[in-house]
Chain A
Amino acid sequence: MSGPTPPDDSKETPPKRPVRKRPLRKRPLRKGLLRKRRLGKGKRPVRKRVPRKPKEMPTAPWEGPVPSALGERFADGIEKTVVLGGQKLVVASLAIAPKIVAFLKDAHGFDYLVDVTAVHWPKRERQFDLVWILYSFSLNERVRLKVTVAEGEAAPSVVSLYSSADWLEREVYDMFGIEFENHPDLRRILMPDEWEGFPLRRDYGILQQDGDWVRENLKIESAQ
């Protein structure tokens, strides 16, 4: 600004910061850091949660030539063929799984192995779900084949049917420790060769692993 400002103006300008009307602290400082803070006893009503019945994914029977052919051929091995949430699912026993895959590929044109993966359920007797996802270009259909595998049990490899199973099965082996019979080159793929344990098992302790690593490499205790 140029020139002196008239004194009245400066008086009328409002203060830049609003005056705080209440004191900064409502409560006095607690003495002693370890003292427990009291919550108002019984002041807040405890909301009782009524456990809702969990929803379920909609299932429907799967009808068509594929499930009927499957049922005909592998009558005893197939547990169920359903449409779960709009997706086709075959649950079968481990022994006939490669035969089902081969049958689906040869007889129904499921010529593309989308994925091989597993899920670990440590509380179950047969701990692993092994899942194959197959796709047929001609039918434009996707089918999920699920079997259970017990700890230490070897699963059959489908590399001879689909080359893509090579890496996918290696990954399942790497992450879950499920061995595949007749796999040409079953090594770890993502983890280093000397790694111990199988990271994607539910009981694999990541905190334990972190602690070990920090102790070994940084010579201190982990803060995790």
Chain B
Amino acid sequence: MAATTLAPPPAAEDTFLDSNELVLNMGPQHPSTHGVLRVILKLDGERVLGADCVIGYLHRGVEKIAENRTYQQFAPYVDRMDYVAAVSNGLGYCMAVEKLLDVEIPPRAQAVRVILTEVNRIASHLLWLGTHALDIGAITPVFLCFREREEALKIFENYCGARLTTHAFRIGGLQYETYDRFEEDCLAFCDLMEEKVKEYHALLTGNRIWVKRTKGVGILNAEDCKNYGVTGPLLRAAGVEWDLRKAQPYSGYDKYDFDVPTAESGDTFDRYIVRMQEMGQSCRIIRQAVGAIPEGPIKGKVGKVIKPPPGEAYVSIEAPKGELGYYVVSDGSLNPYRVRVRPPSFVNLGALDKMCRGTLVADVVAIIGTIDIVLGEVDR
């Protein structure tokens, strides 16, 4: 019965395909499109001729919501974009509004912000590593990564009560003082991570299959990265030593001594190595920051009613996925007139087609994993 009610399949001459080509719809329900990404692949056998992303399945109109909320009310919403790195999102938004208000953030608040953001960066990279390995077929690392990520989430939980969408920062500084064992917890987390990163290296870096699956796959050189606006670990893996924490230091990052890991060829393996090293560098920053949290207030001179003068500001930070920018326009009222988010995942995903052409189906999955997208941020 059911068969008769279906429309007949289109005749071959009505499709735009060559007789050897095949269109494969990957997603939005697919195990490894990291949520609701839909990629329409044009294939010749297993070889990819082109990839067209269809996004927007998770679009919630975050930028529209901002128009109808006050500055403070909107702050929790930004956590829901890149929910894996909610702290970074919050930091960027708070800094953009602080720029409009032109307030000074006390050094204590800045130090705590740096610590929590770096812990969050490690948590985000851990999630990336686990899922990326899962995409390539290694099913064990994801559990190990989640085990360590749990420790990071515990720090957030102890600090502000929330684990994922933390809303850890407030405009002007912090809401909460650090808890009693904050420093010890952060240092213990650093110890743990430095230990465990070695374990991941033992499991993956020396694995011939892992190397074979990632070396030379999805190459994006420095020129293409700039052309496609690709930032973050993808850009650094292509050999450009560019990190906003170094290039345009914010929130006191200039006080800390850390390296910007880079690689040369810009393939999937290099991005893996760069992110692994970044976890180590984040630990370095946390150690320095924890050792020198200054005493003092945790909130700058910000009134209860936030009403920035008319104007606009673009503030960007180095989120785990790349340059995360907030372009906030104020008309002098209580609500932001316009909040534009420059999401790193969205822009980086734009290079997917470029990276996928000529690879195999299995590589598409690896490349989606290596871009490290979070669909909440792509679709907003």
Contacts and interface: CB of A to CB of B under 8 A. Distances in A.
Direct A/B contact, Cβ within 8 angstroms? yes
Question: Which of A84, A163, A189, A200 is packed against the most chain B CB atoms within 10 Å?
Answer: A163
Contact of A119 (B102, B247, B337, B349): B337
B55 A190 contact: yes
Nearest to A55: B309
A191 B102 CA distance: 35
B376 interface: no
Given A189-B56, A190-B379, A112 B64 contact: no
B301 interface: no
A104 to B, nearest CB: 14
A23 B379 CA distance: 56
Contact of B226 (A56, A57, A111, A188): A111
Contacts of B350: 163-164, 166-167
Interface in A165-224: 166-168, 171, 175, 188-192, 199-200, 202, 204, 206
Interface in B57-86: 59, 61, 63-64, 67-68
Given A55-B309, A57-B313, A202-B67, 8 more contacts: A56-B311, A57-B100, A112-B229, A119-B340, A133-B325, A140-B247, A142-B314, A163-B227
A56 B332 CA distance: 9
A115 interface: yes
Q: How large is the interface on B (under 10, 10 to 19, 20 to 34, 35 or more residues)?
A: 35 or more
B64 A206 contact: yes
Interface in B73-105: 99-100, 102
Contacts of A171: 346
B228 interface: yes
B325 A164 contact: no
10 contacts: A57-B100, A85-B102, A111-B226, A114-B323, A117-B340, A163-B227, A163-B229, A164-B350, A166-B350, A167-B346
Contacts of B346: 167, 171
A54 B309 contact: yes
Interface residues of A, number: 41
B248 interface: yes
A54 B59 contact: no
A68 interface: no
The 7 closest A-B pairs by CB, nearest first: A164-B229, A57-B311, A190-B56, A55-B309, A115-B342, A167-B350, A117-B340
Nearest to B311: A57
B247 to A, nearest CB: 5
Contacts of A149: none
